[in-house]
Amino acid sequence: MEEKYKVTVNGNMEFEFTKEQVEALDLQKSVGGAAHVLKNNRSFKTELKKSHFLGRSYTVKVNSKPYEVKISNELDLLIEEMGLSLAAAQVINDIKAPMPGLILDVQVKEGDEVKEGDYLLVLEAMKMENTLTAPRDGVVKSVKVQKGETVDKSQLLIEME
């Protein structure tokens, strides 16, 4: 089975390549992410400007013109074909109680800027302290609970913008 890649350029041009086609490129690497490519007797000077490896997206300059490039491998294509998406994760705006318990500490207030992983509050449940953290970077829109309050499972604790 031949390995395939789908490349989307600037969100509207799509190309498909096999692994063999990629390996057959006439490409000479130079310093700092730059390369020289020959294709159909034409010369192209390329330079990698930005790379988001996990998201498989890149900004590449070709002959001084920037392009946004997204590369999908066979697994990405299969996931897309099944109607699923790894990259299009839902943005979480509501922090809800994962279980019933007692709020021991609230470490943020309305308007606070938080980074992914920052501590938001401490919930005691079943004699264990559970620290809830920010799922993403954002701003706290509102805090719906206070220290000493008991909460039910799935109760809204914090809203984020």
31 φψ region: left (φ > 0), alpha (ψ -120 to 50), beta (else) = beta
Specify the CATH number for 94-160; select among 2.40.50.100, 3.40.140.10, 2.40.128.20, 3.40.30.10: 2.40.50.100
Q: What predicted TM-score, i.e. pTM, was given to this entire model?
A: 0.48
Average the pLDDT over 29-48 and give the result: 88
**Quick check: 103 and 123 in contact, CB under 8 A?**
yes
How many Å apart are CA 155 and CA 25, to the nearest integer? 56
User: What is each CA distance from 15 to 7, 10, 70, in whole angstroms?
Assistant: 5, 12, 11
Domain positions in the chain: 4-81, 94-160
Q: Which of 98, 103, 90, 137 is nearest to 117 (CA)?
A: 137
At residue 62, does pLDDT exceed 90? yes
| pLDDT tens per residue across span 6-24 | 999 998 999 998 889 988 8
| pLDDT tens per residue across span 51-61 | 887 778 899 99
